[in-house]
Structure 1
């Protein structure tokens, strides 16, 4: 039975053949610079270690955002930052997610995806350490380096899931998103106690998050292909993705959910502290909210993949996200725990389904890699405007009417694109064969 494309018609002959379940031999366009032919499937122990290594890498891809938000008042006072400059400081690493994501396919074709991830985990570790050194200059430079590393790894990991876990994409997508938010929750809850334990040294509290990044880097070392030579094989070229309406609907969905996600990481703690909640209690509230996100992240893709389509599921999780966040801003203080929990469940499900939709709307791993680059590159690039605009609209001590109005508007747009992108379709693309490539040697 032929699966309809995003325009509702059967695909033309020129379009790639679509498969809802990818073959085990599918390779990933971002990874196809690796050995040829593809190695046989790893034994179960190797597959488990690969899954654990991938999850550990994912754990470190969000720690830089809530750790900064938790210490933002202290950072503003120590560096004498205005509210507008503080908005740019919180936005800069998010902006890097969009600016550097397009480099992922090129880097992976040159040295291999596994090597690319390893090198960038080193860069991430250095960038996180640098954020706590050198005052404002170190903070900005470290944020750029860490944000660039995260941007490229973000693009490569969904394709790895599509290639190496073809029969468990829903579970792995959920674990991946859960690890992202598990790292964020840990950073949100532990950064303030670390700062207090270190005698008020916010610089050291930020820098210490380089330790789990370095551990993940060490574990990923064992995923590097053995041998110095990399055979670059001919791979198909995916054409027409940027003209596909469904691809743009998925991208808009990612843009809007990114606005919410990074606003929570960067601004929820300062908002709650401004409402009069003590700093340690604020850290616990935000941490528990993000922990609930991790549970929802695991469950959401598993539920969504069993539905005939994801439209109404998307609308439900968007509603929980928006209502919960507005409750945190406007509801009585004694109910903030409840609304933070509602927001956490909604945001976690929203984040994971936005990532899972890249896989669900792709016919194979080639398309998943290209779609991942488009959705995450544009999504995170424009999504960076969310925390920036929230920071510009926010008036300390002046209420949250403008911030709340903006978040409601974003939520309404999320409902629209969540419904459109949730329909059971695959992106329409044209696949063209590529010319053969010569081997390259990695010293």
Structure 2
């Protein structure tokens, strides 16, 4: 009886730890956009240099994600994640320093810390909660998105009211990062890998299904970062005031959070996720097409894009767990999907802005997003079913872990 109670306590601590870690994976990033004009003005940064504040973390995700499985196999996932939280905390603190060097160094450290968390959370969920992948992934995606939305909404008010202005608005998230470090401390008692250092699960580069999951992750990430970077400017150029445009971006993220709560329940009613993923991607397509046809309907398209975007984020993360057989292969697929996916996401806002500059309007870049959403809809029909066979060969399913309802049963 005592062992059962101890296990329940340990699982509860792990769930809370995962949720608090998730709360830190976007807040320090989404709070930058609303303050970018102030940062650029105060530090005398050229627009292209200021734009690196949004691009550097994505490049860090792309560069570091493939390394995470090997590092986790060597040091243990819990210890690696704990170390990444310390790096993230240090990055937020360094970014509080009122200099350009502190700002960019802190941003790089934040990107490194978040990259590790991005890869490890799906793997840990798969390892410790194999029958609750959809539920827990939806929960941590909701927390991640909710705190990110709050960070966007409160950035300017904090900068206006707090001593230190935008420095404080960016640096205050060190408190949440410190909480995550403290909450994660019990997990550091987990025994590390035994025996010689291993290299981790190889990434499934030769799997067509893995590439479909990677493409889905990349396309939905591209859409999210294009929206948070450029949507307020699109609205302002169509007659919306700056403050209203900022709140419409908050509305987009808030709707996405609400939608993400509904995804696990919808998954339980479906045999696989193909139809759900394709439908949610099609909603994004409608939102982008609406911006092309009737850009003045800003409120409607913010809601539509939030409906599709929130669901697609959860599905992209859920695919990593449901398309793999164990935690090691989930880590490998997570590293592959997030490396290539965030590289695509880093390129997206740049190309979107370049098309706007070349064409002196938003029609061409928005049509690009229509094409991207259409491609995502097609990819969803592949990514929503099946299992990626591990690179080292098939592994048997654990007999004691029944498949989550809605998860694929075929191989």
TM over 0.5: yes
Q: Identify if the C-alpha distance between structure 1 residues 322 and 70 changes in structure 2 by more than 3 Å, giving closer, same or farther.
A: farther
* Contact persistence 2:31–2:155 (CA under 8 A): yes
Paired with 1:327 and 1:416, the residues of 2 have a C-alpha distance of: 20
The whole-number CA distance in structure 2 between the counterparts of 1:406 and 1:83 is: 23
Which residue in the other structure is 1:55 paired with?
19
TM-superposed CA distance for 1:206, in Å, is 1.1
Secondary structure of the structure 2 residue equivalent to 1:243: coil
Using the size of structure 1 for normalisation, the TM-score is 0.81
Partner of 2:145: 181
2:107 pairs, out of 139, 143, 149, with 143
Higher alpha-carbon deviation: 251-260 or 238-247: 238-247
Name the SS for the 2:189 alignment partner: coil
1:311 maps to what in 2?
274
Q: State the TM-score, normalizing by the size of structure 2.
A: 0.87
CA distance in 1, matches of 2:72, 2:44: 41
User: For the Cα contact (< 8 Å) 2:321–2:330, is it kept in 1?
Assistant: yes
Residues 172 and 42 from structure 1, CA distance in 2 versus in 1: closer, same or farther, beyond 3 angstroms? farther
Residue 124 of structure 1 is aligned with which of 75, 80, 88? 88
- 1:311–1:421 Cα contact (<8 Å) kept: yes
Deviates more, 1:148-157 or 1:402-411: 402-411
Specify whether residues 237 and 283 from structure 1 end up closer, same or farther in structure 2 by C-alpha distance, changes over 3 A only.
closer
Distance 1:278 1:350 in 2: 29
Mapping of residues 66-215 of structure 1, within 5 Å? 66-198=30-162, 201-215=165-179
Which of the pair is proportionally richer in helix?
A: 2
Tell me the SS of whatever aligns to 1:384: helix
Which residue of 2 is the match for residue 14 of structure 1? none
Which residue of 312, 316, 331 corresponds with 1:369?
331
Q: Residue 252 in 1 paired to residue 218 in 2? A: no
Q: 2:390 aligns with which of 411, 414, 429?
A: 429
Q: Distance in 1 between matches of 2:182 and 2:262?
A: 29
Q: In structure 2, which of residues 355, 363, 379 is the aligned counterpart of residue 417 of structure 1?
A: 379
What is the alpha-carbon distance in structure 2 between the residues aligned to residue 234 and residue 198 of structure 1?
48
1:236 positional shift:
10
Distance 2:72 2:22 in 1: 18
SS at match of 2:392: strand
Cα deviation per residue 1:136-189 (whole Å; 9 max; x = unaligned)? 222221111111111111111111101111221111010121122112111111
Q: Tell me if structure 1 keeps the 8 A contact 2:260–2:310.
A: yes
Are residues 151 and 234 of structure 1, via their aligned partners in 2, closer, same or farther at CA, if it must alter by over 3 Å?
A: closer
Please name the residue that 1:324 is paired with: 287
Q: Is the 8 A contact 1:120 1:153 kept in 2?
A: yes
Checking the alignment, whether the CA contact within 8 Å between 1:87 and 1:387 is kept in structure 2 is no
Moved more, 345-354 or 162-171: 162-171
Change (3 A) 1:322 1:204: farther
1:394 aligns with 2:356: yes
- Tell me: CA distance 1:68–1:325, structure 2 relative to 1, closer, same or farther (3 Å): farther
Aligned-partner Cα distance in 1 for 2:366–2:375: 14
CA distance in structure 2 between the partners assigned to 1:317 and 1:108 by the alignment: 33
- Counterparts of 2:393 and 2:377 in 1: how far apart (Å)? 35
Distance 1:40 1:366, change over 3 A: farther
Q: How far off its partner does 1:388 sit?
A: 2.1
Segment of structure 1 superposing worse, 292-301 or 177-186: 292-301
Match of 2:194 in 1: 231
SS at match of 2:81: helix
Q: Is the 8 A contact 1:358 1:371 kept in 2?
A: yes
Deviations 1:327-353 (A, max 9, x none): 4576354x3222211111110001110
- 1:125 and 1:321 map into 2 onto residues whose CA distance is 34
Q: 1:148 to 1:354 in 2, by over 3 A?
A: same
Matched, 1:355 2:317: yes
**Cα distance per residue 1:214-236 (max 9 Å; x no partner):** 11111111221168x76348989
